[in-house]
Amino acid sequence: MNNQSDSTAASTYHQVTRKVSVAVIGAGTAGQNAFRQASKTKDDIVIINDGFWTTTCIAVGCMPSKLLIAAADRAHDANHSAEFGIHSSAQIDGKQVMERVRTERSHFESYIEKQVDSWPDHKKIAGRAHINEQGLIEVNDEVIEADKIIVATGSSPFIPEDWTDKLGETLLTSDTVFELPDLPKSMAVVGAGAIGLELAQAFNRLGVEVTLFNRVKKVAGLKDSDISNKAIDCLSRELTMHLGSKINDIGTQAAKGSQGALAFIDYEDSAGETQQWQGEYVLVATGRRNNIEQLGVENLGVELDDKNRPKNLSKKTGQIGDLNVFIVGDANAHIPLLHVASDEGFSAGNMVCDNVKNAYIRPPAVPFSIVFCSPQIINVGKSLPEIEEDEELEHVVGSVSFDNQGRSRVMGVNCGLLHIYGCKKTDRILGASMVGPDAEYIGHILAVAITNDLSIKQLLDTPFYHPTILEGLRTALRDVQHKMKIPFQSQDTQESTS
């Protein structure tokens, strides 16, 4: 892309070595989808990538974490079956656990690598791209002029300032933790979001002494306080958590009686008492940040806010205003989830075709997130604060506890709570939040219902097989239906009749 009206004048500063219709920067989930779709209508296209040519999900995210969780669940079941009359103790081979994580990860990577290998070599450039002041892409020894640019540079773990220097080799992130050759003896996890919760519980179940820190008394970013409190109740039964703690200092110190160093964390607990943790590693899970700051997108006319998020972003296509620039996937920091990145890349790849009006655009997905801890945590649709802030939404909250739900109790996984937010005017589901068994499946059913505008009655008319955990969903839906029949009363009336 060239922002100057006279490309010849621009090239006096940097000699253009290649001109293309479309340049895709980044080859993760969003970038690969964009490249595939754009290639269907454009032949003069190039994809530029710095680093591995797979995806964040496969290399350092969804897949290796789920492989670790799968091993952890096997160990947990073996060690916690006494209530069923099954007495056993798992012998955990840490080296084999980590080796399988990497071996199976390589298996998944091979499919992506095979696909990338099938792309013509002249359309692939391995190197770090920079967009110069003329809007030209500099990479290696090439200067590329592109009519349209799709930015899909992904994200990286956020590490607080100075922590890398202070912790040295004892610092881990979700990008490095799967390279451990063996399971450590002890670990602190800082951050109780999705990544922190999943990895903390998995390592704990595999015999690592884990302590989880979080600055607020919430987990998984839950915005429904009842669900968050229930999640804390369920998870704290097996996981040591210091929620509402403040970290004052962090670093390493010599280990007593042995070589090497131990990491330490000086912190104030929720009661304001000064404490210190010591252990082998500190896994920093304080979120991820988009890789866009040093790219030079401002030279394309893109404005970023104070958190490096692009302004004037189309949530459907990733297009920035009316510019021929598309920022998709984790790079735009909109919703950093794989299925969202996939849809954005697909849509952007279609938008660069000659006839944009006929481009196929995937509609924005219903907000949906899953945390694969045990019990699982899901959020679907609008959050409770969003609903409460909208004065036009008259809502009810349907609820069901899984503490005594039939199949959950049979299986010994009876800890959980589901809230469904129903709209009294439309008989539709606005959103839901849950911690509990089989939450990933209940979440999908609710997402389908919201996507297809199904009413509460239509959902209740579908079969719920007995005995299943999904029967809990029916109970919550019935609670929504029951509360919708109650005539709306003003606060004054409620207080006078209570």
- For the domain that residue 26 is a member of, what is the CATH number? 3.50.50.60
pLDDT of residue 32: 96
Do 15 and 139 form a contact (C-beta atoms < 8 A)?
Answer: no
- What is the tally of helices (H) and strands (E) in the chain? 15, 22
Residue 376 — very low, low, confident or very high, per pLDDT cuts 50/70/90? Answer: very high
Q: Which of 312, 316, 385 is nearest to 347 (CA)?
A: 316
E strands, 116-157, where? Answer: 124-126, 130-131, 137-139, 142-151, 155-157
Residue 14 — very low, low, confident or very high, per pLDDT cuts 50/70/90? Answer: confident
Residue 495 — very low, low, confident or very high, per pLDDT cuts 50/70/90? Answer: very low
Whether residue 373 is found in the same domain as residue 258: no
Average pLDDT over residues 386-410: 96
Residue 413, pLDDT > 50, answer yes
234, 267, 286 - which closes a domain: 286
Quote the CA–CA distance of 345 and 22 in Å, as a whole number.
Answer: 13
Q: What is the mean pLDDT of the chain?
A: 92
Q: Is the pTM of this model over 0.85?
A: yes
Q: Is residue 404 domain-resident?
A: yes
Residue 81, pLDDT > 80, answer yes
Whether residue 267 is found in the same domain as residue 242: yes
Average pLDDT over residues 27-36: 96
Total number of domains in the chain: 3
- Residue that has been written with the tokens 């002494």 in this structure: 209
Whether residue 227 is found in the same domain as residue 296: no
Whether residue 207 is found in the same domain as residue 136: no
Residue 497, pLDDT > 70, answer no
pLDDT of residue 8: 43
257, 286, 315 - which closes a domain: 286
Residue 3, pLDDT > 90, answer no
Q: Is residue 94 domain-resident?
A: no
Cβ-proximal residues to 229 (8 Å cutoff; 6+ apart), any chain = none
The dihedrals phi and psi of 279, each to the nearest 5 degrees, come to -175, -175
Handedness of CA 309, 314, 319, 320 (dihedral sign): negative
Tens digit of pLDDT for each residue in 304-327?
999 899 999 998 889 999 999 999
Whether residue 270 is found in the same domain as residue 319: no
Q: What is the DSSP string of 329-366?
A: GGGGTS---HHHHHHHHHHHHHHTSS-GGG---PPPPP
Domain limits at 173? 163-286
